[in-house]
Amino acid sequence: MMDDLGHTEFGAVGHEADGVDDSGLDRRRCPRKKSVLMIGRLTSNDEDHLCLVQDVSRHGAQIKLTSPVDIGQPVVLSLRDRSVLAGKVRWAHAPSAGIEFDEPAPHDPMLKPRLQPCMRRRFHRFARCAVVMVRYGAGSLLGDLVDMGQGGLCVQLDDRLPGDIGSRVHVTVRGFVQQTASIRWKKGNLTGLAFEAPLQFRQTEEWLDGGAAKCHFCTKGRCA
């Protein structure tokens, strides 16, 4: 079960979760907190990935992700409390990896006061490219995906979407998902939609890493 900050009831398991390598040596300088998992965003080499933060302290974290990482690779770990922590991969044993922060976090990431709902976005967003169709009443509009997370998306539509804030629509991201959503905001043809139910973590991770075009250098300024 997951709350609105991406915490789950499941703790880390196995000797990797305890921060101990195959030789039995503890790799850590500081005890970690392992009572929950947090959803994070790992950025490195101009790419970003959805990950699970299995435990974390002011000095480092253990994460789990599908994409491989290399020892010594510089990374930036973003948490949904808006903590942004730069560091390097200290060890890697797929699908888990250990991150050592370049500087100690100013606050314990597990104890930092949570932001009020109006001050934070519930889910990390990732820039990807896909064709989106939004159905409203008897009509529909096509558009280009700008970014998406487990909780919703931003889309550049061919025309302004009719309807008031909060109106329900049906959104299809080609090759990925069909979902009921509500209009969160509108600015010209740019529209933010909130999914009625969050997407599953594994489903989203697999699509972000393998099924979607990553948006870096396309003619629209977004895709590879």
If pLDDT is split at 50, 70 and 90, which confidence band does 15 have? very low
Residues 74, 75, 79: CA angle, nearest 5 degrees: 160
Q: Assess contact for 216 and 45: CB atoms under 8 A.
A: no
Q: 179-187 contacts: CB < 8 A, separation 24 or more?
A: 181/152, 181/153, 184/152, 186/160, 186/161
Identify the pLDDT of residue 1.
41
Whole-angstrom distance, CA of residue 57 vs CA of residue 87: 13
If pLDDT is split at 50, 70 and 90, which confidence band does 153 have? very high
Which SS3 state, helix, strand or coil, does residue 203 take? helix
Identify the pLDDT of residue 203.
87
Residue 112 tokens read as: 């930092």
Q: Of the spans 32-46, 51-65, 119-133, 203-217, which averages the highest pLDDT?
A: 51-65
If pLDDT is split at 50, 70 and 90, which confidence band does 214 have? low
DSSP class per residue in 123-189: S--EEEE-EEEEEETTEEEEEEEEEEETTEEEEEESSPPPS-TT-EEEEEETTTEEEEEEEEEEETT
Please provide the size of the chain in residues: 224
**Would you say residue 161 has pLDDT above 80?**
yes
32-46, 84-98, 204-218, range with the lowest pLDDT: 204-218
Rounded mean pLDDT, 16-26:
41
- Beta bridge pairs of residue 20: 26
If pLDDT is split at 50, 70 and 90, which confidence band does 122 have? low
Identify the pLDDT of residue 28.
52
pLDDT in tens, 77-104: 998 777 899 999 999 999 999 999 999 9
Residue, of 121 and 43, whose pLDDT is higher: 43
Residue 185 tokens read as: 């905001």
Whole-angstrom distance, CA of residue 158 vs CA of residue 143: 6
Rounded mean pLDDT, 140-162:
95
Domains, in order of start, for the chain? 14-119 (2.40.10.220), 126-214 (2.40.10.220)
Residue, of 188 and 120, whose pLDDT is higher: 188
